[in-house]
Structures are given as structure tokens and as C-alpha cells.
Amino acid sequence: MRPYAHRRIVLGVTGGIASYKSAWLARLLTKAGADVDVVMTAAAQEFVTAVTFEALTGRPVHTALIAAGHALDHIALARSAHAIVVAPATADFMARAAHGHANDLLSACLLAADAPVLLVPAMNDRMWAHRQTVRNAEHLRELGYHLLEPDSGALAAGEGSGPGRMPEPETIFAHIGRLLDADGLLRGRRVVVTAGGTREPIDPVRFVSNRSSGKMGVAIASAAWRRGADVTLIAGPLSVAPPVGPSIISVETTEAMRNAVAAHLPGADVLVMAAAPADFRPTTVAAQKIKKDSALSEIAVVPTDDILLSTRDRRPAHAIVVGFALETERALAGGRDKLRRKALDLVVVNDATEPGAGFGTDTNRVTFLAGENEPEALPLLDKSEVADAILDRVEGLMRGR
């Protein structure tokens, strides 16, 4: 799984109650294809055993700075790492790291490392707010370390709620991906992605919509953010968890989505229109719920504004614009028409009737249309893989500009 496969991650675990979450993080990284070398401090071993991590990663766990046959482990681990992650990073460990201490294996690894380092603080809210911890965090950032801000939420038993809680493993996993993958052409670029369907109201409780889950658009937004882009996701109602990283603007109607796209186009480098906005809206919206016995026999509708057409004049000249053509017949012809009529750089075509490639699935089978090039058909892939394939083509188009 990009970008984790065949990458070596040093996962440092220090002595906090949140270390139980680190076991699941190790599992996520290993399942994605990474080689995970776990380094535990002595205090960490009071909370979680080394055997747990060895079972999850299939690799030896490192615990000692000075041991027969392991005198240079800190050098070997640091040099082989593509990224070093310390989760949780306690207040004590942050203080030692900020001052360059090397009195255990994990802190020595940091001093020997050239790879990017992500620290994930986790501690009591008062400790996190203390001036010394704040100063240490600032100094660590100045040294080039990446710090993931702690969440607010329930703390250790009896300590209530507040900032200091370690983020969930899935969030940390996503940030590790950004460390590993944010060195391409999308780094620092502004990317706008749309996702999901829209809802056109009939009355206060009913609406016209479609089967879009938003999975494809969310996958694209996640992949673009992972590649280092500044991503804005404009999303209709989603049936999938929102992505980690991108800014999210929630909308309901096609008009609201069009207005949001128009507002965010200036300065955008890439627009990916992966949403499935409703093509029609009722001509009138009832003020009250329409009763079942009202003998309503039809609902008059009118077309909604086409978002790509209506915002065409607002696109920056350099922007790469990608559209989707979801069809049920003559898919390539429909895609070719959209490519030309809406002045797109790339159209992603798929057939909603094909098993595994329609709404709500985790997979998709797409064909790319660009310029006068021959259609490029991909096999059935996970939507995360399709997202990366789309962004690979976007980066190729950027090179040609």
C-alpha cells in the first residue's frame, strides 16, 4: 500500500497509558506493508510488553541502549529508517529530546537520524499546557521535528477531559503517510476536491438525490493531502468517514456546492470534480411535509446548474481540471463529450452498471481520457489505488505545463 510498502518505520513507544494505542498503530503500519522496528523505553514496558509488538510486527523489539551484540543499534536503526515516529511522546521524553539527551536507545536514535521524525505528545492537560512543555515543543519544531497536536478528550481515569489525549492510531497512520509521500509535484499546491452527492429538497423531510457515497472523492482528497498538498474537500452528505488532513466544507445542495467551488477556485492548482451533484431539483419546495394521502402524482423538476460549466471562466489558467463521467451506456462517448464541452484536462470514466465499479463500492474500474490520447483503461482496483492513479496523471499534466 502506497506509501508504506517496503518502507522501514522506527516506532518509538514511551511510558504513557496511551501506549496501548501504539500496538494498533504498529498493526496498521505492518498491514500496509511497512517494516516496523519498535523501540521501547523502560517505562513503556511497564504498560505494554515487548512480546505484544513482536507478535504484531513479526520483528524483534529493541529495548536496550547498551547490550552485548547490540552496541550500535541506535545507529543502525536510525540509518535504515524512512521515518521515526514516537507515539506516545511523554512530557519527559519531549524534554530530553529537546535538550539532545541520549541516555536511552530511543533518544539516541533521534540524534543519529536523518529521516523525518514525528512526535505524538500524550499527557495530562496541565502538563501539556505547562510553560516548559510549550517551550520544549516550540524548540523541537525549530529543530525540524514534526509534532502532531494532541486531541481533546477523556484523559486517564479521574483526570476528566482536556487537550493532551493521544490521537487515534488511524490519524497518526495518515500523518506518517504524509511524511513518507510529500515530496512530489503536489507538495505545497492548492487542490480542491468535491465528493458525495447533493440533496435537492422536496419538502422539509424528503429530497432528490443519488446513490453516491463519497468514497472516491474522499480517497482522492486523502491521497492529495498525503502527497503534501493543501487540500480543500467540498463534500455533500457522506456515508464514509471524513479524511484526515484536508479542510472540509460541508454542503447540501448542488447550488451550495457550485458556490463553494467558485469561491475556492481562485489560486487553485488542481480541481478534481469527483462529486455526483444532483442534476435536477424540484421546481417548488413544500413548506410542510407532504402527506401520503395528498394524492401527489408527480414532482416537477428543472435542471440544476452544471458546476464545471458554470465555473469555467473562474478557473486559473494554469489549473489542472479533472472531471468524472459516470455512465450506464456508451460510457466513453459520454466521457469524450464531457472532456470537450467542459474544457477538462482529464476525464475519469466509469460504468455504474459494472459490478464493483458503481456507487458505494470500495473498488472502481475506470478509463482515463485526456486530449486526443487513446483511452487508458485500468483494471478493477481499490478506490485508494484509483485515487493515486488519478493524481499520478495530474502530476504528469503539471509537468507538461
* Three-state secondary-structure class, residue 36: strand
- Per-residue pLDDT of 239-266, as tens digits, reads 999 999 999 999 999 999 999 999 999 9
Q: Is 190-399 the same fold as 8-181?
A: yes
How far apart are alpha carbons 269 and 237 in whole angstroms? 25
Bridge partners, residue 156, by sequence: none
Q: Does pTM surpass 0.85?
A: yes
Looking at this protein, which amino acid is placed at residue 86? V
The answer to whether 350 is a known catalytic residue is: no
Pairing mode, strands 270-273 and 247-250: unpaired
How far apart are alpha carbons 391 and 353 in whole angstroms? 25
* Three-state secondary-structure class, residue 399: helix
Catalytic residue (one of 136, 210, 259, 364): 210
Domain 8-181 in CATH 3.40.50.1950 = yes
How far apart are alpha carbons 85 and 109 in whole angstroms? 11
Residue showing cell 463534500 = 235
CA angle at residue 324 from 319 to 326, to 5 degrees? 170
How far apart are alpha carbons 218 and 374 in whole angstroms? 28
Q: Where are the domains of the chain?
A: 8-181, 190-399
Classify the C-alpha dihedral 27-29-35-38 as positive or negative: negative
Classify the C-alpha dihedral 67-70-72-75 as positive or negative: negative
Of 370, 361, 200, nearest to 282 by C-alpha is: 200
- Per-residue pLDDT of 277-315, as tens digits, reads 999 999 999 999 998 887 777 899 999 999 999 999 999
SS in 3 state form for 208-270?
A: ECCCCCCHHHHHHHHHHHHCCCEEEEEECCCCCCCCCCCEEEECCCHHHHHHHHHHHCCCCCE
Contact 59, 35 (CB under 8 A): yes
- 190-399: which CATH number, 3.30.70.60, 3.40.1380.20, 3.40.50.10300, 3.40.50.300? 3.40.50.10300
Residue showing cell 488532513 = 245
- Provide the residue-wise pLDDT of the chain in tens; the chain has 401 residues: 999 999 999 999 999 999 999 999 999 999 999 999 999 999 999 999 999 999 999 999 999 887 756 657 889 999 999 999 999 999 999 999 999 999 999 999 999 999 999 999 999 999 999 999 999 999 999 999 999 999 988 777 666 778 999 999 999 999 999 999 988 999 999 999 999 999 999 999 999 999 999 999 999 999 999 999 999 999 999 999 999 999 999 999 999 999 999 999 999 999 999 999 999 999 999 999 998 887 777 899 999 999 999 999 999 999 999 999 998 889 899 999 999 999 999 999 998 888 888 788 999 999 999 998 999 999 999 999 999 999 999 999 999 87
How far apart are alpha carbons 397 and 23 in whole angstroms? 41
